[in-house]
Amino acid sequence: MVTSPLPTITLRNGTTIPRLGMGSWLMGETTSRRTDEIRSLQVGLDNGLRLIDTAEMYGNGRSESVVGEAIRGRRDDAFVVSKVLPHHSRYDDTIEACKRSLRALNTSHLDLYLLHWRGDVPLSETVRAFKALEKEGLILGWGVSNFDVRDMEELERCSQNAVANQILYSLLYRGTEFDLQEHNARHHVATMAYCPIGQGESELLQHPTLVSIAQRHKTHLGPATPAQIALAWTLRSPNIISIPKASTPSHQEQNIAALEITLTQEDLTELDRAFPPPRSKVSLAVI
């Protein structure tokens, strides 16, 4: 049950989507978890979330197949993002990889197709393939992932149409606040934050500052959790889409409830003290 309005972003191609999305890395890896994973994504869609992030790399298409099952019969509720591997990013390979992803997802189109990270293939060649896929209606937009400012500048020399740059961003990795996030915003490229809750690891979720801030907040589900604080923090900037992965309906509901949390100036100051923002250029961190 959503009890507060979903914050949205209008992408440069005119599509408006909620800024809270859903990741799916490692989904489809364990048969016994599959039903929960599908249900979790459906709980997100039932509550108005739309963006589901997957990639051909995730379990060699097994994550895409979980996503395909979650959106079956309700394709229009979802905004599906998949990614092509750098070693498939030659022109013909990109077209083939996209068609493979569409088959795994059992859908006619992707809402967004990203280059997973930069490889040796010239960006202009991959962009040409993205544009051909767009022309055919197989993708409705394209973008990149794990691109730092220099890569974005090079990309912008090929084309000004990238919709999003998906990057590592959480309290543990704030380096992109120095330049990349502002660069993306200035160029109308949405910043998509991956691993926003630190992959569920204790380094973030048991951090005393997060634990103590969580104690000052609540949602309709009860006392707030450190994961919800970490997630709410990533969503504080209007150009950020955050894509936590929740494999269970209960985690998905908690993530949606994080939208009820408004961090105070005091919370933000304490978080800055515990997880300092960058003071100079930091190379883009990647997981």
Ligand X SMILES: NC(=O)c1ccc[n+]([C@@H]2O[C@H](COP(=O)([O-])OP(=O)(O)OC[C@H]3O[C@@H](n4cnc5c(N)ncnc54)[C@H](OP(=O)(O)O)[C@@H]3O)[C@@H](O)[C@H]2O)c1
Assess 173 for contact with ligand X (CB under 6 A). no
CB 191 within 8 A of CB 176: yes
CA distance 80 to 96: 18
For ligand X, the closer CB: 42 or 199:
199
**Distance of closest approach, residue 260 Cβ to ligand X, in angstroms:** 13
**Distance of closest approach, residue 262 Cβ to ligand X, in angstroms:** 18
**Distance of closest approach, residue 77 Cβ to ligand X, in angstroms:** 18
Assess 242 for contact with ligand X (CB under 6 A). no
Assess 90 for contact with ligand X (CB under 6 A). no
Question: Which range in 10-18, 64-72, 248-256, 266-274 contacts ligand X by CB under 6 A?
Answer: 248-256
Assess 21 for contact with ligand X (CB under 6 A). no
Which whole-number Å values give the CA distances from 178 to 151, 175, 184, 232, 276, in the listed order? Answer: 16, 6, 12, 20, 12
Site for ligand X in 50-79 (CB under 6 A): 53
Assess 23 for contact with ligand X (CB under 6 A). yes
**Distance of closest approach, residue 166 Cβ to ligand X, in angstroms:** 5
CB 105 within 8 A of CB 65: yes
Residue number closest to ligand X, CB atom: 23
178 CB neighbour count, 10 Å cutoff: 16
Question: Which range in 3-11, 150-158, 182-190, 246-254 contacts ligand X by CB under 6 A?
Answer: 246-254
DSSP string computed for 122-181: -HHHHHHHHHHHHHTTSBS-EEEES--HHHHHHHHHH-S---EEEEE-BTTB-GGGTTHH
Assess 243 for contact with ligand X (CB under 6 A). yes
One-letter identity of residue 114:
L
**Distance of closest approach, residue 41 Cβ to ligand X, in angstroms:** 11
Binding track over 174-203 against ligand X, x by CB under 6 A: --------------------xxxxxxx---
Beta strands in the chain (DSSP E): 8-10, 16-18, 51-53, 79-84, 112-115, 142-145, 164-168, 190-194, 218-219, 222-223, 240-242
Question: Which range in 23-31, 94-102, 121-129, 274-282 contacts ligand X by CB under 6 A?
Answer: 23-31
Backbone angles phi, psi at 114, to 5 degrees: -115, 150
Given 67, 80, 140, 227, the residue binding ligand X (CB under 6 A): 227
Q: Which of 274, 276, 278 is CA-nearest to residue 212?
A: 274
Assess 42 for contact with ligand X (CB under 6 A). no
**Distance of closest approach, residue 96 Cβ to ligand X, in angstroms:** 21
The torsion of the CA quartet 164, 165, 166, 168, rounded to 10 degrees, works out to -150
**Distance of closest approach, residue 135 Cβ to ligand X, in angstroms:** 25
Question: Which range in 9-17, 98-106, 238-246, 270-278 contacts ligand X by CB under 6 A?
Answer: 238-246
Chain residues that interact with ligand X, rule: CB under 6 A: 23-25, 53, 116, 145-146, 166, 194-200, 225, 227, 243-248, 251, 254-255, 287
